[in-house]
Structure 1
Amino acid sequence: MTTQHQFGGDWTKRKLEALRKYLDAYMKIFTANEKAKSFHTVYVDAFAGTGYRTPTDSDEPSLFPELTEQDNQEFLKGSASIALEMDKPFKEYLFIEQKQSHVAALEHLKKQFPERRIQIKQGDANTILHTWIRETNWRCTRAVVFLDPYGMQVEWSLIEAIAKTEAIDLWLLFPLGVGVNRLLTKCAPPPPTFSDRLTRFFGTEEWRDRFYHRQKTIFDEEVEHKSATFDSIRDFFIERLETVFKAVAKNPLVLTNSRNNPIYLLCFAAGNPKGAPTALKIADHILSHQT
């Protein structure tokens, strides 16, 4: 029996549908275009879970109160299953997962697709992907990487390494409401633990000046208050992506919970100089029409 991966709701369906549409369009290009056919194509799911998901209204509520929402209890395909079931498959799949029980479920999923070349690695996604990037010949490889963490596990050094390959299209779930905004304390800048985490995530300390403003009290003391909004956080992250990628979608998909509060942004960036314009055009269309 497949281990149940309980996470998500209607916003998860929207996220996965956008990913499915892009993967289909991507592989149509790499199977129809004569030059593109020569590349070794890889799909990477860095937080693969079990390959399936079972929505719930109580997935880690202490960590993610924004995600507590009622949903139907039907068994649904996750990103790994969606990628494996494509009519035009990738030449290779890499699934990364930290939990042993989820890895076991992925191994079971792998057996259902004996014709697919599938690697499953257990461990920290940041570490495993850095190694994979170093060991891959990017002259003959093209990839789509899906970074789908629950929170802020992804570090900027990984995003930068992905961009430097100039061969990867990146889909990233940005933790807008469940991560970044919650660490930005209101009446003063975050404590060192939160600040360090934000700096590792954004790859710079510029977030301090962007998200806080200084003002003087009646006692002529200078204090800092949070000025960040969901829009300003989004804009800052898009700007950060644009410093390393050739093309970045400026219209990330806003994913909300049942109370209509923003919890994630589904972001897209392309690294290949030649392919980026086409990739961005496809992604922009999908993001603009994903309801």
Structure 2
Amino acid sequence: MKQHQFGGSWTRQKLEVLRKYLNAYMTIFTKNKRASFFHTVYVDAFAGTGYRTLADPSEAPLLAEITEEDNQNFLKGSARIALELEKPFAEYLFIEKQNDRVAELEHLRKEFPNRRIQIKQGDANNILQEWIQNTNWDRTRAVVFLDPYGMQVEWSLIEAIAKTRAIDLWLLFPLGIGVNRLLTKNAPPPKQWEQKLTRFFGTDEWRNRFYQCQTTMFGDKVEQKNANFASIQNFFIERLQTIFAAVAPKPLVLTNSHNNPLYLLCFAAGNPKGAKTALRIANHILSHPS
């Protein structure tokens, strides 16, 4: 098996949060008569191979679920976790750009013959936009997991997801490895980075929030960065709150071995009727990620 290596202990946290939420979600949609009316879909937009390779073999003893697979040095990825649910979704959509990873995902069809699986290759922004447009949201409810390595997700996609009023979104926000790095310290970012940040946030208001005008000792006016991890997090949560029915106010901060923030695991509920319950479940899981 071709192994897709990325992540460390923070990846375990992320996957455990997702697993808990998907279990709770499908429990509701199988036991509640009104909820069982809907066709349920799980979407993994950066699905990889369905496995995550351990970044460090020393992680293995910390994971109770690892058995003889320790020798192969891989863990379950988000696609596999979703497929192994005791109460599965009616349909699964996995999106991946790279050829070799798509080929590996295809093996999941044979391994899970009783699951309805779609695998699409290409840019997640375009494929998801098309899927959203072609889905009957009067009869469909979905959980979408946007798990990019960097800043591949555009605000236009997040906005389209919110407009369905039928999707619960889990999103990996690139706090330390993406956004903060583009926010240059002693001057605003170069044009190309500015455009990337604006596409990502869906507004250029980030400039007013993250930079302030300073006067030098020579009387010159300069713009300097005044953003930190907390202010970046707050701004993004505020942006989500403008379009979703409910948003978890305290996303899970995922850090590296040096305790430096890498990502935020964010949650937003799109359906106004189910938002209160979804948010209560998500908040509980986010506050108890392990």
Which interval holds the TM-score relative to the shorter structure?
Answer: over 0.9
Q: Which residue of 1 aligns with 2:64?
A: none
Unaligned stretches of 5+ in structure 1?
A: 58-68
Distance 1:215 1:75 in 2: 50
Distance 1:174 1:4 in 2: 24
Residue 165 (structure 1) shift = 0.1
Unaligned stretches of 5+ in structure 2?
A: 61-69
Residue 71 (structure 1) shift = 5.1
Instruction: Write the mapping of 1:112-127 to structure 2, written as runs, cut at 5 A.
Output: 112-127=111-126
Distance 2:181 2:81 in 1: 31
Distance 1:257 1:195 in 2: 27
Distance 2:208 2:54 in 1: 38
Distance 1:203 1:252 in 2: 20
Residue 38 (structure 1) shift = 0.8
Q: Which residue of 1 aligns with 2:232?
A: 233
How big is the alpha-carbon RMSD for the aligned residues of Structure 1 and Structure 2?
1.2
Instruction: Write the mapping of 1:132-147 to structure 2, written as runs, cut at 5 A.
Output: 132-147=131-146
Q: Which residue of 2 aligns with 1:61?
A: none
Q: Which residue of 2 aligns with 1:257?
A: 256
Residue 56 (structure 1) shift = 2.5
Q: Which residue of 2 aligns with 1:194?
A: 193
Distance 2:47 2:2 in 1: 13
Tell me if 1:42 matches 2:54. Answer: no
Q: Cα deviation per residue 1:61-109 (whole Å; 9 max; x = unaligned)?
A: xxxxxxxx98557310000000000000000000000000000000012
Distance 2:239 2:81 in 1: 29
Q: Secondary structure at the match of 1:136?
A: coil
Instruction: Write the mapping of 1:50-69 to structure 2, written as runs, cut at 5 A.
Output: 50-56=49-55
Q: Secondary structure at the match of 2:137?
A: coil
Residue 156 (structure 1) shift = 0.1
Q: Secondary structure at the match of 1:260?
A: coil
Q: Secondary structure at the match of 1:187?
A: coil
Tell me if 1:274 matches 2:278. Answer: no
Q: Which residue of 1 aligns with 2:67?
A: none
Residue 3 (structure 1) shift = 1.7
Q: Which residue of 1 aligns with 2:180?
A: 181
Instruction: Write the mapping of 1:8-27 to structure 2, written as runs, cut at 5 A.
Output: 8-27=7-26
Q: Which residue of 2 aligns with 1:80?
A: 79
Tell me if 1:215 matches 2:219. Answer: no
Q: Which residue of 2 aligns with 1:205?
A: 204
In the alignment of these two chains, the number of paired residues is 279
| Identity of matched residues, % | 72
Distance 1:78 1:222 in 2: 50
Q: Secondary structure at the match of 2:203?
A: coil
Moved beyond 3 Å, runs of 4+: 69-73
Distance 1:241 1:10 in 2: 27
> Structure 2 vs 1, CA of residues 290 and 181 (structure 1 numbering), >3 Å: closer, same or farther?
same
Distance 2:30 2:223 in 1: 54
Distance 1:192 1:269 in 2: 30
Task: Compute the TM-score of the two structures, normalised by the length of structure 1.
Answer: 0.94
Q: Secondary structure at the match of 2:184?
A: coil
Distance 1:141 1:54 in 2: 33
Task: Output the amino acid matched with 2:216.
Answer: T
Residue 55 (structure 1) shift = 2.3
Larger CA deviation: 217-226 vs 93-102: 217-226
Distance 1:204 1:111 in 2: 44
Distance 2:109 2:80 in 1: 9
Tell me if 1:7 matches 2:6. Answer: yes
Distance 2:224 2:58 in 1: 35
Residue 221 (structure 1) shift = 1.3
Distance 1:215 1:259 in 2: 32
Distance 1:235 1:45 in 2: 26
Distance 1:227 1:215 in 2: 10
Tell me if 1:168 matches 2:145. Answer: no
Q: Which residue of 1 aligns with 2:101?
A: 102
Q: Which residue of 1 aligns with 2:65?
A: none
